[in-house]
Amino acid sequence: MIIKRPSDIRPSEITDEAIYLDRRRFLQAAGFAALGAAAAVSPPARAASEASQPKIQGLVQSTLSIDEDPNSWEDITTYNNFYEFGTDKSDPHRKARDFQPRPWEVSVSGECDRPGTLSYADFVAPHTPEERIYRLRCVEAWSMVIPWVGIPMGDALKRFEPNSRAKYVTFKTLLDPKQMPGQRWPVLDWPYVEGLRIDEAMHPLAIFGIGVYGRELPNQNGAPLRIVVPWKYGFKSIKSIVSIEFTEKQPLSSWEKAAPSEYGFYANVNPEVDHPRWSQASERLIGKGIFAPRRPTEMFNGYADQVAQLYQGMDLTRNY
């Protein structure tokens, strides 16, 4: 088997959304319901259906939510980028079903006065008043509207009292090739690493995601804990986090390390800056059908009013 670097993988080698959706429609035309179409890929007894995911109690709607209708549970949980489980969009929901997200602990270290740990209970406890449902638009080269459940990242990070030298926050994903079969191949230099500037991490729109549609995160969506940064491309929103570190120097993120000419540290959604191999001026809407027109990509994914001030004076072509 030839293992390719991410920079060598052509878009034609990745399952196209139209092919994927055509396959689903073929199954539906043959008499399968929506759940049956998913079951044709994953055995029904082991599929992560909405009803199988525990509900999260004590939720309130965030004032930061947008008005657009959300994508369906099926859209959100069967069309995923999570290379730890494979590079095809259908790999995560098929290959992550045996992943064990409990027990879970996140170490917090670096430039802070109170290093420590976060457990999953710190995020899902019903008494936690910061829990919110955020209906946010998320974009890669395709986009969805997802009703995330989460808490503001800044609220959690402030507990550890980052000091004046803390300019960045670095996140790492679990490294466990036994549970995460995609990590058995050198698609990236594992574990997955991402980072944010600390003012980005403290922005109210940046959240620690713990659920979707009022239920705990399915494995394929980054269980048990991920970040969601909706004004950036999806690869910034690292999943299954086990480590957080406050640093003085800008971290080298996984995709930036693998293909620096294609994936910059900031990854802000910017229709005026194309990926070297494709245009980013428009986006494909998942769940709207294979013939639905693409729509123009909005600056900062439509969140310019909230986040543009973070980048005043910066050249967003160079800081891509």
Taking only the tens place, the pLDDT of each residue in 87-120 is: 999 999 999 999 999 999 999 999 999 999 999 8
Q: Please tell me the predicted confidence (pLDDT) of residue 60.
A: 85
Nearest to 134 by CA among 158, 117, 119, 151: 151
pLDDT band at 140 (very low <50, low <70, confident <90, very high): confident
List the domain boundaries for the chain. Answer: 56-311
- Contact present, 188 and 172 (Cβ < 8 Å): no
Query: How does pLDDT run across 247-300, given as a tens digit for each residue?
Result: 999 999 999 999 999 999 999 999 999 999 999 999 999 999 888 899 999 999
- Contact present, 54 and 216 (Cβ < 8 Å): yes
Is pLDDT of 317 > 60? yes
Q: Please tell me the predicted confidence (pLDDT) of residue 246.
A: 98
Tell me which of 260 and 8 has the higher pLDDT: 260
Residues 6+ apart with CB under 8 A from 45: none
- Contact present, 290 and 21 (Cβ < 8 Å): yes
Mean pLDDT of the chain: 84
- Contact present, 111 and 246 (Cβ < 8 Å): yes
Q: Please tell me the predicted confidence (pLDDT) of residue 53.
A: 94
Q: In the structure encoding, which two tokens stand for residue 57, read together?
A: 């109690």
Q: Please tell me the predicted confidence (pLDDT) of residue 91.
A: 97
- The backbone torsions φ and ψ at residue 234, rounded to the nearest 5 degrees and listed phi first, read -60, -30
Q: What is the mean pLDDT of residues 126-130?
A: 50
Q: In the structure encoding, which two tokens stand for residue 148, read together?
A: 């995330």
pLDDT band at 131 (very low <50, low <70, confident <90, very high): low
Give percent above pLDDT 90 in the chain.
72
Q: Please tell me the predicted confidence (pLDDT) of residue 6.
A: 32
Q: For 165, how many CA atoms within 13 A lie in the half-sphere containing its CB?
A: 10
| Alpha carbon 189 to chain centroid, angstroms | 18
The residue type of 120 is: Y
- Contact present, 170 and 253 (Cβ < 8 Å): no
Q: What is the mean pLDDT of residues 229-252?
A: 97
Segments of 168-262 assigned E as strands = 168-173, 193-197, 207-212, 215-216, 226-228, 241-247
Q: Please tell me the predicted confidence (pLDDT) of residue 48.
A: 64
Q: Please tell me the predicted confidence (pLDDT) of residue 7.
A: 34
pLDDT band at 130 (very low <50, low <70, confident <90, very high): low
SS3 183: helix
Is pLDDT of 139 > 60? yes
In this structure, is the dihedral angle defined by the CA atoms of residues 213, 218, 221 and 224, taken in order, positive or negative?
Answer: positive
Is pLDDT of 18 > 90? no
Element (H, E) at 135: strand 132-139
Instruction: Tell me which of 164-178, 187-201, 283-297 is least confident.
Output: 283-297
CATH architecture of 56-311: Alpha-Beta Complex (3.90)
